[in-house]
Chains A and B, each alone.
Chain A
Amino acid sequence: MSDGIRVAALEDIPEGEGIAVDRAISGTEDDIALLRDDDGTVWALNDTCTHAEASLSEGWVEGGYVECPLHASKFCLKSGAVQGLPATQNAVAHRVEILDGEVYLFPGQQP
């Protein structure tokens, strides 16, 4: 787990929801949203929606996508690819690994 940062316990993130990792911890320009899909997998995207001021960690996570809680743009959890208006820019995705019930974040690395 070289250069991975332990950012949460898996049980801290309910399925279908997300939590935000502060940029002071991730060392990135933006906070990072840890998003847990309804199949139990965990994904990471830049937290701020590419459309407007909104936190994707507060969005709805389901079926491989996160929906922005404010304006309903959807992003692919795996790639960050935008699925529809009002956002037009992809979200930045980061690599996440789970080990022994702990969530490790690899900022800047592709999933």
Chain B
Amino acid sequence: MPSIDVSGLVDSEGGLLDRAVITDEQIYRQELRRIFATSWLFLAHIDQFHKPGDFFTTYMGEDPVIVSMDKNRRIRAFLNSCRHRGARVCRADFGATRSFTCTYHGWAYDLQGELISIPNKEGYPEDFRAGDWGLVEVPHLDTYHGLIFGTWNPEPESLRESLGDMTWYMDAMLDHDPEGTVVVGGVHKWVLEGNWKLAAEQFATDWYHVNMSHASALTVLAPGGKPNDEVVHRTGRQYVDPKGHGHGFPVHPKNRFDAQTVHEWTDYAALRERLGEARVEGPLTTGHANVFPNFSYLPVNGSIRIWHPKGPDKMEVWAWTIVDKSMPEHVREAQRLYNLRTFGPSGIFEQDDGENWSEVQAISHGFITNSVPLNYQMGIGSERHDGRHPGITSELYSDAAARAFYGRWRDLMNTPAWHERNDNE
């Protein structure tokens, strides 16, 4: 299959981006082949599976997968497509089952993905072997502090290697205490006009938009209805990962959760002891993050989400609320409501972001518009070791993590994937 050289579309050193990366259909198809079929992708939270047969259906890129616990209590993931005529073998969003039966002709598979029942089996030739027609399995799954990731790459680098120093930042959300995190409520899902990367890059890099886009929300939340200078001129850092991850966060000595009940319950002394001052005063504050390519989270809100690609112009947002398992019920409820009000589908911040992404996308197909590059030059040259946070960091107000995000994107887009390599070479 011919591929497009995207070198000319991403100038990650000069900070320029061609809009074709969010509008071009061929580039989008190439992303499915070279980004989504090769990377570790977030699938689900471990708390969604407690007994054999518990399942959750999601997507890896545009590929539908069933994540489920098999009879030996192992979490596995299978392509949700019948080997016979290709319909999904599980149409539910989540649940518990003993088997997966295709609703078209009735081929049925067990929790290990084996084909166990074929109606009118006598019609098949004698040498038909059911063992050859099990569900296609995702070859590698791994977890990081309760987050389940999977990859189609048959020989991937490990999940830990792929996350690199990003784990130090992720722990600020996922490792508050040894009990870990649990999911509250279900998964919110909504559709947005806009390329998936607009959301992913914003969560990786963009504090800059906060004062403008979220002005009304900030005003509502400010004591006395008037944001002070500290809010508008927030200082902080931005972690810039060479593999495309990013995490921006204010740095603040008196870390402050916005949900009062959660704030009052939180034992900051214990957190300092466990995670260290740099993390409690940094990424544990009101930060934003993206794990390349499309898994994002907001530590203070308890929001984890995935940006499912649905063509170059559309994404589906799937969002979970997670809380510390040790939280008592009334604190969990406070966190759930706080996340719902801020970053739920109708949250006062979420609405602002979705509007921006859809706005950018809606006009980007214009011929002249599409020929005018976008600017990612904020903070060029600011990347450095800051002596307090691992890896390379930049300023809070910076495009550095976006430049790294698109740099990684460009490199993967220009590298033949595992499924394109010729074994004879």
Contact = CB atoms under 8 A, between A and B. Distances in A.
A29 to B, nearest CB: 18
A95 interface: no
Interface string A51-65: 111100010000000
Interface string A68-103: 011110000000000000100000000000000000
Could you say which interface size class chain A belongs to? 10 to 19
18 contacts: A52-B118, A52-B119, A52-B120, A53-B117, A53-B118, A53-B121, A54-B108, A54-B116, A58-B98, A69-B98, A70-B101, A70-B108, A70-B117, A71-B101, A71-B106, A71-B117, A72-B101, A86-B106
B255 interface: no
Could you say which interface size class chain B belongs to? 10 to 19
A71 B120 CA distance: 12
A58 B121 CA distance: 21
A69 B116 contact: no
B91 to A, nearest CB: 13
Contacts of B99: 58, 69-70
Given A70-B108, A71-B108, A54 B98 contact: no
B98 A52 contact: no
Contacts of B106: 52, 70-71, 86
Interface of A: 51-54, 58, 69-72, 86
Main secondary structure of the interface of A (DSSP, over half): loop
Contacts of A71: 101, 106, 108, 117, 119
A48 B413 CA distance: 51
Nearest to A69: B98
A54 B117 CA distance: 7
Nearest to B106: A71
A86 B98 contact: no
Contacts of A86: 106, 119
Q: A51, A54, A58 — which one has the most chain B CB atoms within 10 A of its CB?
A: A54
Contacts of A51: 119
Given A54-B117, A70-B117, 13 more contacts: A51-B119, A52-B106, A52-B118, A52-B120, A52-B121, A54-B108, A58-B98, A58-B99, A69-B99, A70-B99, A70-B108, A71-B106, A72-B101
B397 to A, nearest CB: 57
A72 B117 CA distance: 13
A54 B118 CA distance: 9
Interface string B52-64: 0000000000000
Contacts of B117: 52-54, 70-71
A51 B119 CA distance: 7
Contacts of A72: 101
Contacts of A70: 99, 101, 106, 108, 116-117
